[in-house]
Amino acid sequence: MEQSIQPQVERSIIKTYRKEIWNRFVESVKRYDLLQEGDKVCVCLSGGKDSMLLAKCMQQLQRHSDFPFSLSFLVLDPGYAPENRAQIEQNAAMLGVSIKIFEANIFRYVEKQDGSPCYLCARMRRGYLYKYAQQLGCNKIALGHHFDDVIETILMSILYGGEVKTMLPKLHSTNFPGMELIRPLYLVKEHDILRWVKLHDLRFPRCACAMKQSDAAGESGKRAATKALIASLRKENSNVDSNIFHAIEDVNLETLLGYRRGETHISFLDQYDEITE
């Protein structure tokens, strides 16, 4: 692929996939109030398709925004295989994303631990991302989670975690005061991201994790099963993913057996006398 692909890629986000990608990206930013004037945003690139699309969308938004904000592009290398790191660097250069690479031997540590390696890796990576983003003078980190990640998380929490919760579009950091996490691709569907990738014949490591190279899909078992479940349900009801999302947007507390706010648990019995059929 030639260097000239950069303007084509940028134009396709605004033109070819304006409705499916650009408009949904902008809607996410506006609906959830993800950016403010003067923000210094660290866009975190994992090396995959989602974070690279996020980087390009954020560049476009910076050019067209009504207010100024700054961008840095950070790649955390937790122990990538040399060929994966090289591909990440090549893609960034080809697509006009100036990255800063920080190293942390997370993979080497995680592979020696018991329990879920993916969960531990994700937690450790998040902490390093906040740390390095602060070093770059940023007050926000932007991650490439998309609409499908959100609805899969909802179902995984119900089916495997025994609770109803979702992946929020933004969060204040607990351990890094003044830092915030944002997810600007929150309303963008993975299907459309894949179409954008295919249009330009972009190549990304399926999974840059050294411990999961044998997994061609690059998915953990539970997430892969949940993704397959949603795909099968979508064959019968094309709106099933949207319905899952709206269900968590419009929860009827009066019909729940109970819910939790912080450390406080509220039972329907606490307000039973106020409930009528």
Per-residue pLDDT of the chain (277 residues; tens, 9 = 90+): 445 699 999 999 999 999 999 999 999 999 999 999 999 999 999 999 999 999 999 999 999 999 999 999 999 888 788 899 999 999 999 999 999 999 877 776 666 666 666 666 777 778 889 999 999 999 999 999 999 999 999 999 999 999 999 999 999 999 999 999 999 999 999 999 999 999 999 999 866 565 554 344 445 688 899 999 999 999 999 999 999 999 999 999 888 999 988 899 999 898 888 766 6
Residue 199 falls within a domain, yes or no? yes
The closest alpha carbon to 205, from 106, 62, 90, 119, belongs to 90
Residue 156 falls within a domain, yes or no? no
- Domain range for 119 is 5-148+165-217
Residue 83 falls within a domain, yes or no? yes
pTM of the predicted structure, to 2 decimals = 0.90
> Residue 141: how many CB atoms within 10 A of its CB?
25
Task: Provide the phi-psi class of 37: left if phi over 0, else alpha when psi is between -120 and 50, else beta.
Answer: beta
Residue 246 falls within a domain, yes or no? no
Residue 259 falls within a domain, yes or no? no
Domain count, the chain: 1
CATH code, domain with 179: 3.40.50.620
